Amino acid sequence: MNKAEKEGGSHPYVILARMSVELTARKEDPALRIDPSLFSDLPSLDQPGACFVSIKKGSGELRGCIGTIYPVYPRLRDEIIHNSEASAGSDPRFPPLEPGETRECLISVDVLEDPVPVAGLLDLNPRIFGVIVEKGHQRGVLLPDLKGIDTPEEQVSIAMRKAGINNCEGMKLWKFRVSRYKE
């Protein structure tokens, strides 16, 4: 058990995301406020990694979700901090999180493996794989194992809708696995 787990009881990725979300809700900069030594004994945070940070209300309703499918920052630590900050304060679907809301929210961090191209729906399983759809400059992403999404057709349809893609002609598909850490 590392220092962060001793303090919070959750996985260090989730602790880092929670700290970032709470600081963002208070209009503080998590990148400046979080002490890196708290996570110094977790080498995986010093490696590059893509991730999504999801915030849900206690009822399970989505309150924010932002992520990257390829690493943008040199360390997973920075990726989690920035995606947490964006999920709490910049998700265009929701107003910024208020400080009083954070206590009732649950946070998860999905760390992505590299996406691989797929030929079609038969290569997908929405319980195991996330999906990326792309057509021209339009791209939609959907994480795996989401409540109410049971078929590859539903998964791809939602990702297409998110991307504003109206038909499959010329569309490319990728799948990816995640390691999910949640409260």
pLDDT, tens only, 57-97: 999 999 999 999 999 999 999 999 999 999 999 999 999 99
Residue pLDDT, tens place only, 149-183: 999 999 999 999 999 999 999 999 999 999 999 99
Range of the domain at 54: 3-112
Is the domain of 36 the same as that of 126?
A: no
96 in the same domain as 147:
no
Task: Report, in angstroms and rounded to the nearest whole number, the Rg of the chain calculated over CA atoms.
Answer: 17
pLDDT tens digits for 11-22?
Answer: 999 999 999 999
Of 3-12, 32-41, 60-69, 123-132, the one with minimum mean pLDDT is: 3-12
What six digits make up the tokens of 176?
């990816």
Instruction: Assess whether 98 and 139 both reside in one domain.
Output: no
Q: What CATH number does the domain containing 162 carry?
A: 3.30.1490.150
- 85 and 150 co-located in one domain: no
* % pLDDT > 90, the chain: 91
One domain, residues 95 and 132: no
Whether residue 13 is found in the same domain as residue 95: yes
**pTM of the shown model:** 0.92
Q: Is residue 28 part of a domain?
A: yes
Q: Residue 3: CB partners within 8 Å, gap ≥ 6?
A: 37, 38, 39, 40, 41
pLDDT at 18: 97
Q: Give the end of a domain, one of 96, 112, 128.
A: 112
**Do 18 and 98 share a structural domain?**
yes
Q: Are residues 88 and 9 in the same domain?
A: yes
In a domain, 182, yes or no: no
87 & 123 share domain: no
Residue 7 φ/ψ, nearest 5 degrees: -80, -35
Domain count, the chain: 2
Residue 9 pLDDT class (50, 70, 90 cuts): low
- Measured between alpha carbons, how far is 86 from 17 in angstroms, rounded to an integer? 11
Mean pLDDT along residues 114-143:
97
Q: What is the mean pLDDT of the chain?
A: 94
pLDDT over 50 at 3, yes or no: no
State yes or no: pLDDT of 143 exceeds 60: yes
pLDDT band, residue 36 (cuts 50/70/90): confident
Domain boundary among 97, 112, 127: 112
Domain check: are 10 and 94 in the same one?
Answer: yes
Answer yes or no: is 183 within a domain: no
Helix (H, G, I), strand (E, B) or coil at 106: strand
- The model's confidence at residue 147, banded by pLDDT at 50, 70 and 90, is very high
Q: What is the pLDDT of residue 5?
A: 44
